[in-house]
Amino acid sequence: MIVTGATSGLGLVTARELARVGARVVLAVRDPAKGERAAAAMAGHTEVRRLDLADLASVRAFAAGWTEPLDVLINNAGIMRVPPGRTRDGFELQIGTNHLGPFALTNQLLPHITSRVVTVSSQLHRRGRLDLDDLNWQRRRYRSLQAYCDSKLANLLFTLELQRRLAEAGSGLRAVAAHPGIATTSLTSHIGGVRGKLGRAFKHLFNNAERGALPTLYAATQDVPGGCYIGPDGFAHLRGYPEIGTPSERARDADLARRLWDLSARLTQPVHQENR
Protein backbone atom coordinates (compact mmCIF):
# COMPACT_ATOMS: atom_id res chain seq x y z
CA MET A 1 0.00 0.00 0.00
CA ILE A 2 1.02 3.60 -0.58
CA VAL A 3 0.01 6.34 1.85
CA THR A 4 0.82 9.88 0.80
CA GLY A 5 1.52 12.48 3.47
CA ALA A 6 2.30 9.80 6.05
CA THR A 7 4.57 11.79 8.39
CA SER A 8 1.86 13.38 10.55
CA GLY A 9 -1.84 13.50 11.34
CA LEU A 10 -4.23 11.19 9.54
CA GLY A 11 -1.59 9.86 7.17
CA LEU A 12 0.72 8.86 9.99
CA VAL A 13 -2.05 6.99 11.81
CA THR A 14 -3.25 5.37 8.59
CA ALA A 15 0.23 4.11 7.68
CA ARG A 16 0.97 2.99 11.24
CA GLU A 17 -2.23 0.98 11.61
CA LEU A 18 -1.96 -0.68 8.21
CA ALA A 19 1.64 -1.69 8.91
CA ARG A 20 0.71 -2.90 12.38
CA VAL A 21 -1.76 -5.44 10.98
CA GLY A 22 0.65 -6.78 8.37
CA ALA A 23 0.42 -4.59 5.29
CA ARG A 24 3.59 -3.53 3.52
CA VAL A 25 3.27 0.26 3.59
CA VAL A 26 5.19 2.79 1.53
CA LEU A 27 5.26 6.24 3.13
CA ALA A 28 5.23 8.62 0.18
CA VAL A 29 6.44 11.88 1.69
CA ARG A 30 7.95 15.23 0.75
CA ASP A 31 10.64 15.02 3.46
CA PRO A 32 12.30 11.56 3.46
CA ALA A 33 14.21 12.23 6.70
CA LYS A 34 10.96 13.00 8.49
CA GLY A 35 9.45 9.93 6.86
CA GLU A 36 12.25 7.73 8.14
CA ARG A 37 11.67 9.01 11.68
CA ALA A 38 7.98 8.25 11.38
CA ALA A 39 8.61 4.78 9.94
CA ALA A 40 11.11 3.96 12.70
CA ALA A 41 8.31 4.29 15.25
CA MET A 42 6.02 1.89 13.37
CA ALA A 43 5.77 -1.87 13.75
CA GLY A 44 5.71 -3.94 10.60
CA HIS A 45 7.08 -3.59 7.09
CA THR A 46 7.49 0.02 5.99
CA GLU A 47 9.44 1.87 3.34
CA VAL A 48 9.94 5.57 2.68
CA ARG A 49 9.99 7.13 -0.77
CA ARG A 50 10.12 10.79 -1.73
CA LEU A 51 7.04 12.36 -3.31
CA ASP A 52 6.21 16.05 -3.66
CA LEU A 53 2.67 16.42 -4.99
CA ALA A 54 3.32 20.10 -5.70
CA ASP A 55 5.91 19.13 -8.32
CA LEU A 56 4.77 17.04 -11.30
CA ALA A 57 8.36 16.01 -12.02
CA SER A 58 8.48 14.43 -8.56
CA VAL A 59 5.15 12.69 -9.22
CA ARG A 60 6.42 11.30 -12.51
CA ALA A 61 9.68 10.13 -10.92
CA PHE A 62 7.82 8.38 -8.11
CA ALA A 63 5.45 6.63 -10.52
CA ALA A 64 8.26 5.66 -12.89
CA GLY A 65 10.07 4.01 -9.99
CA TRP A 66 7.08 1.82 -9.14
CA THR A 67 7.30 -1.52 -10.94
CA GLU A 68 5.34 -3.95 -8.79
CA PRO A 69 1.65 -4.69 -8.09
CA LEU A 70 0.02 -2.20 -5.74
CA ASP A 71 -3.06 -3.21 -3.77
CA VAL A 72 -4.16 0.20 -2.51
CA LEU A 73 -3.19 3.80 -3.19
CA ILE A 74 -4.29 6.19 -0.43
CA ASN A 75 -4.30 9.82 -1.56
CA ASN A 76 -4.13 11.34 1.90
CA ALA A 77 -1.66 14.22 1.64
CA GLY A 78 -3.07 17.71 1.56
CA ILE A 79 -2.70 21.31 2.64
CA MET A 80 -5.34 23.66 4.03
CA ARG A 81 -5.93 27.42 3.96
CA VAL A 82 -2.40 28.35 3.00
CA PRO A 83 -1.42 31.86 1.83
CA PRO A 84 -1.38 32.53 -1.92
CA GLY A 85 1.26 30.44 -3.63
CA ARG A 86 2.09 28.37 -6.68
CA THR A 87 3.36 24.86 -7.23
CA ARG A 88 6.51 24.17 -9.22
CA ASP A 89 4.27 23.88 -12.29
CA GLY A 90 2.47 27.16 -11.69
CA PHE A 91 -0.78 25.83 -10.25
CA GLU A 92 -2.56 27.47 -7.31
CA LEU A 93 -1.01 25.70 -4.34
CA GLN A 94 -4.10 24.03 -2.87
CA ILE A 95 -5.69 22.79 -6.09
CA GLY A 96 -2.24 21.70 -7.27
CA THR A 97 -1.30 19.79 -4.12
CA ASN A 98 -4.72 18.46 -3.15
CA HIS A 99 -6.09 17.56 -6.58
CA LEU A 100 -3.79 17.87 -9.59
CA GLY A 101 -0.86 16.08 -7.95
CA PRO A 102 -2.99 13.13 -6.76
CA PHE A 103 -4.81 13.08 -10.12
CA ALA A 104 -1.50 12.67 -11.95
CA LEU A 105 -0.15 10.17 -9.42
CA THR A 106 -3.24 7.98 -9.58
CA ASN A 107 -3.36 7.87 -13.35
CA GLN A 108 0.33 7.06 -13.63
CA LEU A 109 0.12 4.29 -11.03
CA LEU A 110 -3.20 2.89 -12.24
CA PRO A 111 -1.68 0.08 -14.35
CA HIS A 112 -0.13 -1.32 -11.14
CA ILE A 113 -3.16 -1.01 -8.83
CA THR A 114 -4.95 -4.28 -8.08
CA SER A 115 -7.69 -3.30 -5.61
CA ARG A 116 -8.61 0.35 -5.05
CA VAL A 117 -7.81 4.03 -4.85
CA VAL A 118 -8.82 5.87 -1.69
CA THR A 119 -8.86 9.67 -1.79
CA VAL A 120 -9.35 11.75 1.35
CA SER A 121 -11.80 14.60 0.89
CA SER A 122 -13.63 16.78 3.43
CA GLN A 123 -17.15 17.79 4.38
CA LEU A 124 -16.04 21.27 3.36
CA HIS A 125 -16.40 20.04 -0.21
CA ARG A 126 -20.04 21.10 0.26
CA ARG A 127 -18.86 24.71 0.13
CA GLY A 128 -16.88 24.12 -3.05
CA ARG A 129 -17.72 26.29 -6.06
CA LEU A 130 -15.20 25.01 -8.57
CA ASP A 131 -14.56 27.49 -11.41
CA LEU A 132 -13.10 25.52 -14.31
CA ASP A 133 -12.48 28.74 -16.21
CA ASP A 134 -10.19 29.96 -13.43
CA LEU A 135 -9.09 26.80 -11.66
CA ASN A 136 -5.78 28.37 -10.63
CA TRP A 137 -7.15 31.66 -9.28
CA GLN A 138 -5.43 33.78 -11.87
CA ARG A 139 -8.32 36.23 -12.34
CA ARG A 140 -10.23 36.07 -9.04
CA ARG A 141 -9.20 37.51 -5.70
CA TYR A 142 -7.67 34.60 -3.81
CA ARG A 143 -9.62 33.26 -0.84
CA SER A 144 -7.78 30.53 1.02
CA LEU A 145 -10.83 28.80 2.52
CA GLN A 146 -12.70 28.76 -0.78
CA ALA A 147 -9.64 27.41 -2.57
CA TYR A 148 -9.45 24.60 -0.02
CA CYS A 149 -13.16 23.78 -0.35
CA ASP A 150 -12.81 23.76 -4.12
CA SER A 151 -9.90 21.32 -3.93
CA LYS A 152 -11.89 18.96 -1.72
CA LEU A 153 -14.82 19.10 -4.13
CA ALA A 154 -12.33 18.25 -6.87
CA ASN A 155 -11.28 15.16 -4.87
CA LEU A 156 -14.83 13.84 -4.93
CA LEU A 157 -15.49 14.71 -8.56
CA PHE A 158 -12.26 12.90 -9.43
CA THR A 159 -13.18 9.83 -7.37
CA LEU A 160 -16.64 9.48 -8.87
CA GLU A 161 -15.41 10.06 -12.43
CA LEU A 162 -12.59 7.54 -11.91
CA GLN A 163 -15.15 4.99 -10.70
CA ARG A 164 -17.34 5.64 -13.75
CA ARG A 165 -14.38 5.14 -16.06
CA LEU A 166 -13.31 1.95 -14.30
CA ALA A 167 -16.83 0.53 -14.52
CA GLU A 168 -17.12 1.44 -18.21
CA ALA A 169 -13.83 -0.36 -18.86
CA GLY A 170 -15.09 -3.47 -17.07
CA SER A 171 -12.43 -3.12 -14.38
CA GLY A 172 -12.88 -4.57 -10.91
CA LEU A 173 -10.84 -1.76 -9.36
CA ARG A 174 -12.65 0.59 -7.00
CA ALA A 175 -12.35 4.33 -6.41
CA VAL A 176 -13.50 5.34 -2.93
CA ALA A 177 -13.53 8.63 -1.02
CA ALA A 178 -13.31 9.23 2.72
CA HIS A 179 -13.44 12.17 5.09
CA PRO A 180 -12.42 12.45 8.76
CA GLY A 181 -15.16 14.77 10.01
CA ILE A 182 -13.28 17.45 11.91
CA ALA A 183 -9.99 16.02 13.04
CA THR A 184 -7.75 18.14 15.25
CA THR A 185 -4.47 17.47 13.45
CA SER A 186 -1.65 19.74 12.35
CA LEU A 187 -3.66 20.50 9.20
CA THR A 188 -5.98 22.67 11.30
CA SER A 189 -3.34 24.05 13.65
CA HIS A 190 -3.56 27.57 12.22
CA ILE A 191 -7.36 27.81 12.38
CA GLY A 192 -8.23 29.55 15.62
CA GLY A 193 -11.81 28.31 15.77
CA VAL A 194 -10.71 24.69 15.82
CA ARG A 195 -7.60 24.97 17.98
CA GLY A 196 -8.53 27.97 20.17
CA LYS A 197 -11.18 28.63 22.80
CA LEU A 198 -14.08 27.72 20.52
CA GLY A 199 -12.40 24.45 19.64
CA ARG A 200 -11.86 23.58 23.31
CA ALA A 201 -15.48 24.34 24.10
CA PHE A 202 -16.74 22.02 21.38
CA LYS A 203 -13.96 19.41 21.42
CA HIS A 204 -16.53 16.70 22.11
CA LEU A 205 -17.67 17.20 18.50
CA PHE A 206 -14.23 16.62 16.97
CA ASN A 207 -12.13 13.56 16.20
CA ASN A 208 -8.49 13.19 17.13
CA ALA A 209 -6.14 11.79 14.49
CA GLU A 210 -6.75 8.18 15.58
CA ARG A 211 -10.51 8.47 15.18
CA GLY A 212 -10.22 10.73 12.15
CA ALA A 213 -8.24 8.07 10.29
CA LEU A 214 -10.92 5.41 10.77
CA PRO A 215 -12.92 6.29 7.62
CA THR A 216 -9.77 6.08 5.52
CA LEU A 217 -8.81 2.75 7.06
CA TYR A 218 -12.35 1.47 6.52
CA ALA A 219 -12.32 2.62 2.89
CA ALA A 220 -8.96 0.94 2.32
CA THR A 221 -9.70 -2.43 3.90
CA GLN A 222 -13.43 -3.20 3.90
CA ASP A 223 -15.65 -4.57 1.13
CA VAL A 224 -17.25 -1.26 0.18
CA PRO A 225 -18.69 -0.36 -3.23
CA GLY A 226 -16.76 1.76 -5.66
CA GLY A 227 -17.80 5.38 -5.72
CA CYS A 228 -18.84 5.50 -2.07
CA TYR A 229 -18.08 8.29 0.40
CA ILE A 230 -17.17 7.19 3.91
CA GLY A 231 -17.13 9.38 6.99
CA PRO A 232 -18.03 9.48 10.69
CA ASP A 233 -21.55 8.44 11.75
CA GLY A 234 -21.97 10.94 14.60
CA PHE A 235 -23.62 14.34 14.91
CA ALA A 236 -23.34 16.28 11.63
CA HIS A 237 -20.79 13.63 10.56
CA LEU A 238 -18.13 15.48 12.55
CA ARG A 239 -16.94 12.52 14.57
CA GLY A 240 -17.76 8.87 15.22
CA TYR A 241 -17.24 5.56 13.48
CA PRO A 242 -17.21 4.95 9.72
CA GLU A 243 -20.36 4.76 7.66
CA ILE A 244 -21.18 5.24 3.99
CA GLY A 245 -22.60 8.70 3.41
CA THR A 246 -23.74 10.85 0.51
CA PRO A 247 -21.61 13.59 -1.03
CA SER A 248 -23.14 16.89 -2.14
CA GLU A 249 -25.24 17.19 -5.27
CA ARG A 250 -22.46 19.22 -6.89
CA ALA A 251 -19.96 16.44 -6.17
CA ARG A 252 -22.27 14.06 -8.03
CA ASP A 253 -22.47 16.27 -11.13
CA ALA A 254 -21.26 13.88 -13.83
CA ASP A 255 -20.82 16.60 -16.45
CA LEU A 256 -18.72 18.75 -14.11
CA ALA A 257 -16.65 15.68 -13.20
CA ARG A 258 -15.94 14.89 -16.84
CA ARG A 259 -14.95 18.47 -17.60
CA LEU A 260 -12.68 18.61 -14.54
CA TRP A 261 -11.07 15.33 -15.59
CA ASP A 262 -10.38 16.59 -19.10
CA LEU A 263 -8.96 19.87 -17.78
CA SER A 264 -6.83 18.08 -15.18
CA ALA A 265 -5.47 15.72 -17.83
CA ARG A 266 -4.44 18.67 -20.02
CA LEU A 267 -2.85 20.56 -17.13
CA THR A 268 -0.82 17.60 -15.90
CA GLN A 269 0.58 16.47 -19.24
CA PRO A 270 4.39 16.67 -19.19
CA VAL A 271 4.48 18.96 -22.23
CA HIS A 272 2.03 21.45 -20.76
CA GLN A 273 3.57 24.88 -20.38
CA GLU A 274 0.58 27.24 -20.15
CA ASN A 275 0.74 27.72 -16.37
CA ARG A 276 4.47 28.09 -16.02
Whole-structure pTM value:
0.90
Q: What is the mean pLDDT of residues 159-184?
A: 94
142 is catalytic: no
Active-site residue, selected from the candidate residues 142, 148, 218, 229: 148
Map out the domains of the chain with their CATH numbers: 2-181+208-267 (3.40.50.720)
pLDDT 10s digits, 53-103:
999 999 999 999 999 999 999 999 999 999 999 999 999 999 999 999 999
Instruction: Render pLDDT for 93-124 as a digit per residue (tens, 0 to 9).
Output: 999 999 999 999 999 999 999 999 999 999 99
Per-residue pLDDT tens digits for 189-214: 444 444 444 445 445 556 678 899 99
- Can you spell out the DSSP letters for the chain? -EEESTTSHHHHHHHHHHHHTT--EEEEES-HHHHHHHHHTS-S-EEEEE--TT-HHHHHHHHHT--S-EEEEEE-----SPPS-B-TTS-BHHHIIIIIHHHHHHHHHGGGEEEEEEEE--GGGGG----GGGTT-SSSPP-HHHHHHHHHHHHHHHHHHHHHHHHHTT---EEEEE--SSB-SGGGTT-HHHHSHHHHHTGGGSB-HHHHTHHHHHHHHS---TT-EEEE-SGGGSSSSEEEE---TGGG-HHHHHHHHHHHHHHTSTT--TT-
User: How would residue 184 be classed by pLDDT, with cut points 50, 70 and 90?
Assistant: low
The answer to whether residue 185 scores a pLDDT higher than 50 is yes
